[in-house]
A and B are shown apart, each in its own frame.
Chain A
Amino acid sequence: MSLTTNDLKIIANKIRYYALDGIFHAQSGHPGGSLSMAEIMAVLYFHEMRVDPQNPKDPDRDRFVLSKGHAAPGYYAALALKGFFPVKQIGNLRKIDCVLQGHPDMKKISGVDMSTGSLGQGISAATGMALYGKTNKKDYRVYALTGDGELQEGQVWEAAMAAGHYKLANLTVFVDNNNLQIDGEVTKVMSVYPIAEKFEAFGFAVQKINGNDIEEVIAAIDKCKLQQDKPNAIICSTVKGKGVSFMENQAKWHGAAPDEELYKKAAEELETAIIELGGAL
């Protein structure tokens, strides 16, 4: 049974809600990029990907690699809502006795397909997974999500070269193009533009979409599945801190936890959005 666009919008906001819940209780973590990618995560885990929380290591499952591993709270929220582990566990994010590490750890966390955190490395792992799948005639698909600042890492382009070389049509790379990184605007720190042309030059089929629009994300993934001989890149224009008024487009919310007052305000905004969409926490 597939979910409606409205259902997925509700899930995206729940991902935001629980990501912030984790970050607030940990008093550390990365809200900005967790919020900007929420629609992508909602579509992947609740509409698109063939994954089963009861059989998280199924060799034929679709894979997801969060190359921008610092957005782990948003990832964990999606996995928990999907049923890989209890949602209440997110409240113990980054705690010494909790499996939910500051960055994704495939050995500890059910549903995590690759340990990431050091930027630039996830795309290589995803490329390896896709190449393994192609080599062994598996029909699973591999999705990876990278930040736009992350594109400054040279390894991303080594991986892109390999994905293009091996014509990995089963690979889709999302770029969470929210234009901000820790030290400020991507264009001021070290411009990664033009992004689409770079991926095209490495042999990718490239789409540019609004990554905070559920329908556009679904349509873009559907288009990737038609691709026969090229890896896919979906450049997702997104808003960093999306869904929380005071965090939107603010670089300072890349890696800072809100205090209690701001957390309550953020939680209230997200809860209101969920209720307005007809959902409930």
Chain B
Amino acid sequence: MSSTREAYGKAIEELGEKYPFYVFDADLSQATKTNLFAKKYPDRFFQAGIAECNMMGMAAGFATCGATVFASTFAMFAAGRAFEQVRNSIAYPNLNVKIAATHAGILIGPDGGSHQCIEDISLMRTIPNMTVLCPSDAAQTLPCVEAAIKKEGPVYLRFGRNASPDIYSGDVQFEIGKGYQLRDGNDATIIAIGDMVYEALVAAEELSKDGVQIRVIDMPSLKPIDEELIVKAAKETGIIITAEDHNIIGGLGSAVCEVTAQFCPVPVIRVGSKDLFGRSGSKNELAEYYGLNSQTIIKAYNLRKKMISKK
């Protein structure tokens, strides 16, 4: 059990040996864990100071010279403050900058609403040329980061702050554009990202005690998204529940709806921040307060079933 930001720090530290990329950070290297890379490869690490917009521009300048560059800061400042720099200086010229954003979502804990970015997936997903990835545990992070390095063009990587339970073990496969079915079932499908993948598995396990078989899909590639897997789930299970530590507007829930609406309309119930800013609290308190847990997923399923049986 560890956080995806720590796994990111370790991943670039390890992959730095194999790939000649550079890393920029904006005075948060202790928190984003790019300090591990900085220590090992001091000549390939650059501090931008607390100036995220310029960091994105400098990273873009590096990339025009043929370099692959990671630019790291908190999601709020990477996708939020520097949105337009990411859009115009990185994505528009399709440059090889990997925007590695940590501390995404409400579950980062006590920093509160100003730092709990619930809009980043929405913002990044809408930019042409951009790939958007969100690994769900530490083990998946390394292959996810390596896939981003191999992918030509800009990639947004979303990492959490706090330790989350392990989902994967051993030699983990990761492919951009692929979702991963973690549990089979035909009564409904939960599609989840990040911390919510574990909650989805817990919810499925709970529901199985009532004889309900829930399919669980981890969807770490938000853009491009695995349309085939979503459509298959929609056809075979008839109900989809999405679960994300992000606003239900514009994030995973919306991305799944875009696919089902076009290819196989089924009810999609979106679990996540219900268009609400975050607040200070512990991870568990916040999960409870905002409904970012297995209980909310179970309630969402039961409510939907009740609605169907009333018809």
Q: Which residues of A contact B (CB under 8 A)?
A: 59, 63, 105-107, 113-115, 117-118, 120-133, 135-136, 154-155, 158-159, 161-162, 165
Q: Are A129 and B85 in contact (CB under 8 A)?
A: no
Could you say which residues of chain A place their CB within 8 Å of the CB of B61?
Answer: 114, 124-132
14 contacts between A and B (CB under 8 A): A59-B65, A106-B64, A114-B89, A118-B84, A118-B88, A121-B89, A124-B56, A124-B57, A128-B58, A128-B62, A132-B67, A155-B53, A161-B49, A162-B58
Q: Are B92 and A131 in contact (CB under 8 A)?
A: no
B48 CB within 8 Å of chain A: yes
Q: Are A132 and B57 in contact (CB under 8 A)?
A: no
Could you say which residues of chain B place their CB within 8 Å of the CB of A117?
Answer: 88
B97's nearest neighbour on chain A, judged by CB, is: A128
Q: Are B51 and A161 in contact (CB under 8 A)?
A: yes
B302 CB within 8 Å of chain A: no
Q: Are A125 and B88 in contact (CB under 8 A)?
A: no
Could you say which residues of chain B place their CB within 8 Å of the CB of A130?
Answer: 61
Q: Among A115, A136, A154, A165, which residue has its beta carbon within 8 angstroms of that of B89? A: A115
Query: Which residue of B59, B65, B84, B85 has the most chain A CB atoms within 10 A of its CB atom?
Result: B65
Q: Could you tell me the distance between the alpha carbons of A193 and B94 in the complex, rounded to whole angstroms?
A: 36
Q: Are A121 and B93 in contact (CB under 8 A)?
A: no
Near A by CB (< 8 A), chain B positions 20-48 give 43, 46, 48
Q: Could you tell me the distance between the alpha carbons of A193 and B57 in the complex, rounded to whole angstroms?
A: 25
Q: Among A118, A120, A127, A154, which residue has its beta carbon within 8 angstroms of that of B58? A: A127
Query: Which residue of A117, A126, A127, A128 has the most chain B CB atoms within 10 A of its CB atom?
Result: A128
Q: A113-B64, A127-B58, A128-B59 are in contact. Are A162 and B93 (CB under 8 A)?
A: no
Could you say which residues of chain A place their CB within 8 Å of the CB of B60?
Answer: 114, 124-125, 128
Q: Are B88 and A159 in contact (CB under 8 A)?
A: no
Could you say which residues of chain B place their CB within 8 Å of the CB of A165?
Answer: 49
Q: Could you tell me the distance between the alpha carbons of A114 and B59 in the complex, rounded to whole angstroms?
A: 12
Shortest C-beta distance, A104 to chain B (Å), equals: 10
Q: Are A159 and B43 in contact (CB under 8 A)?
A: no
Q: A107-B93, A125-B89 are in contact. Are A132 and B54 (CB under 8 A)?
A: no
B54's nearest neighbour on chain A, judged by CB, is: A158
Could you say which residues of chain B place their CB within 8 Å of the CB of A126?
Answer: 61
Near A by CB (< 8 A), chain B positions 58-87 give 58-67, 84-85
A127's nearest neighbour on chain B, judged by CB, is: B58
Q: Among B51, B57, B88, B94, which residue has its beta carbon within 8 angstroms of that of A128? A: B57
Could you say which residues of chain A place their CB within 8 Å of the CB of B58?
Answer: 124-125, 127-128, 131, 159, 162
Q: Are A121 and B57 in contact (CB under 8 A)?
A: yes
Q: Are B88 and A115 in contact (CB under 8 A)?
A: yes
Shortest C-beta distance, B135 to chain A (Å), equals: 27
Shortest C-beta distance, B42 to chain A (Å), equals: 11
**Inter-chain pairs besides A132-B62, A161-B49, 4 sampled, C-beta below 8 Å:** A121-B89, A128-B61, A130-B61, A162-B48
Q: Could you tell me the distance between the alpha carbons of A114 and B93 in the complex, rounded to whole angstroms?
A: 8
Q: Could you tell me the distance between the alpha carbons of A121 and B94 in the complex, rounded to whole angstroms?
A: 15
A106's nearest neighbour on chain B, judged by CB, is: B93
Q: Could you tell me the distance between the alpha carbons of A227 and B43 in the complex, rounded to whole angstroms?
A: 23
Q: Could you tell me the distance between the alpha carbons of A40 and B212 in the complex, rounded to whole angstroms?
A: 73
Shortest C-beta distance, A169 to chain B (Å), equals: 16
Q: Could you tell me the distance between the alpha carbons of A133 and B92 in the complex, rounded to whole angstroms?
A: 23
Could you say which residues of chain B place their CB within 8 Å of the CB of A131?
Answer: 46, 58, 61-62
Q: Are A159 and B57 in contact (CB under 8 A)?
A: yes
Q: Could you tell me the distance between the alpha carbons of A59 and B62 in the complex, rounded to whole angstroms?
A: 12
Q: Could you tell me the distance between the alpha carbons of A45 and B51 in the complex, rounded to whole angstroms?
A: 32
Q: Are A115 and B93 in contact (CB under 8 A)?
A: yes
Shortest C-beta distance, B7 to chain A (Å), equals: 27
Q: Are A162 and B54 in contact (CB under 8 A)?
A: yes
Q: Are B85 and A121 in contact (CB under 8 A)?
A: yes
B48's nearest neighbour on chain A, judged by CB, is: A162
Q: Are A127 and B64 in contact (CB under 8 A)?
A: no
Q: Could you tell me the distance between the alpha carbons of A121 and B53 in the complex, rounded to whole angstroms?
A: 8
Q: Could you tell me the distance between the alpha carbons of A117 and B93 in the complex, rounded to whole angstroms?
A: 12
Q: Could you tell me the distance between the alpha carbons of A125 and B53 in the complex, rounded to whole angstroms?
A: 11
Shortest C-beta distance, B220 to chain A (Å), equals: 28
Query: Which residue of B54, B56, B85, B94 has the most chain A CB atoms within 10 A of its CB atom?
Result: B54
